[in-house]
Amino acid sequence: MNLAVAANENMANISNVLIYSAMAVYTLAFLAHMAEWVFGSRSKVGRTAAALTDAAGARSAATVAVKVATRGGGTAVLERPKVVTRSVAGSRDVPDGPGAAGDSEQGDLYGRVAISLTVLAFLLHAVGVVARALSVERAPWGNMYEFSTTFSAVAVGVYIVFLATKKNVRWIGLPLVTTVLLDLGLAVTVLYTDSDQLVPALHSYWLWIHVSCAIISGAVLYLGFVGTLLYLFRDRYEAKLAAPVGKRPGAFASSVLERLPSAASLDKFAYRINATVFPLWTFTIIAGAIWAEAAWGRYWGWDPKEVWSFITWVAYACYLHARATAGWKGRKAAYIALVAFACFLFNYYGVNFFINGRHSYDGV
């Protein structure tokens, strides 16, 4: 028995070392992403324009901003190409530029370094989560510390899968790594709980099903939240570009927002993410009700965690309905999506910290 306890303690220590190591590598990835955003070229979205044409033929607008042509002793100055930021009605979206991952050799180098470091950090992170599971001999999400470390690992894992499938999502890298560092920092300082067994009511295979679905749902919804938030900033930026000269965005806003995909693409990305994971969140609530019946003898008891899970479900249902309603597409629907994710965060942090309920006995 003592040997088993000692082995579990050693595995827990290994898990802690791996989590701290992952945080160190995530920090290096954060710095590399910052360098990528500083040295990477701007997105092509805000620079798309029709080619300029003269008597000699067409010449690319990507290499010519102002062109002077000589005709019969006179000069004709062509205007700067029109900045195209929005798709024409009935056509496809404005094509996306590379985002922070630029065409420049230096910017792309930092981007590749950032992605490589993110993958390395994820591997350390994932092994740390597995080591925690071995130390407690159960699913590694029995408390808020374990949930947080697993949640951030899944979020990074989904991001890496997107990259592996050639999706243009490198623009998520900087906000994602920043959030992961904050999440892990909070986990190891405020939420940390020593390895321990759960109360008898939680010893069920539904722990693997219900909580794993909640973690996956939350991680994917977070990516949708990032897309929605950046869509609002990018949409406002594009509106200012289309406005009179006096209302043009500032240099700093242009420097940051030109690196993002178009507002239409960000909006579409967020919608697809939220719509795809919504059925899984629905199943999460159903699985929780089934587990509650097995553990407590009732499917629904208006426990605060149950209530806020349902409120989150309703909020996302309203968002999806708004997207299908002509007058609520765009920014109005995006605001609902932000409220929905805020409900998810309160369901996790607010309910666990400030409201007592049947879910409180799992501790932090």
201-220 pLDDT per residue, tens: 667 788 888 989 999 999 99
Tokens representing 255 are: 């420097």
Comparison of pLDDT for 177 and 97, the residue scoring more: 177
- Give the DSSP letter of residue 301: -
C-alpha dihedral, 269 to 226 to 222 to 228, nearest 10°: -60
Q: What is the pTM of this model?
A: 0.80
Question: Is residue 259's pLDDT more than 60?
Answer: yes
Tokens representing 262 are: 């178009």
Question: Is residue 65's pLDDT more than 50?
Answer: no
Per the listing, tokens 């995909």 go with: 261
Contacts of 345 (CB under 8 A, 6+ apart): none
Rounded CA-CA distance 2/259 in Å is 57
Rounded CA-CA distance 98/168 in Å is 7
Rounded CA-CA distance 141/212 in Å is 8
- Determine phi and psi for 296, rounding to 5 degrees: -120, -5
Per the listing, tokens 């965690």 go with: 305
Rounded CA-CA distance 293/265 in Å is 43
Per the listing, tokens 């044409």 go with: 53
| Confidence category of residue 72, pLDDT binned at 50, 70, 90 | very low
Tokens representing 322 are: 């708004």
Comparison of pLDDT for 324 and 225, the residue scoring more: 225
How many beta carbons lie within 10 A of that of residue 239, not counting itself? 15
- The answer to whether the CB of 180 falls within 8 A of the CB of 152 is yes
Tens digit of each residue's pLDDT (9 = 90 or more) over 147-203: 999 999 999 999 999 999 988 888 899 999 999 999 999 999 988 888 776 666 667
Tens digit of each residue's pLDDT (9 = 90 or more) over 286-326: 999 898 888 778 888 888 888 999 999 999 999 999 888 87
- Containing 193, the helix (H) or strand (E) segment is none
pLDDT of 55? 32
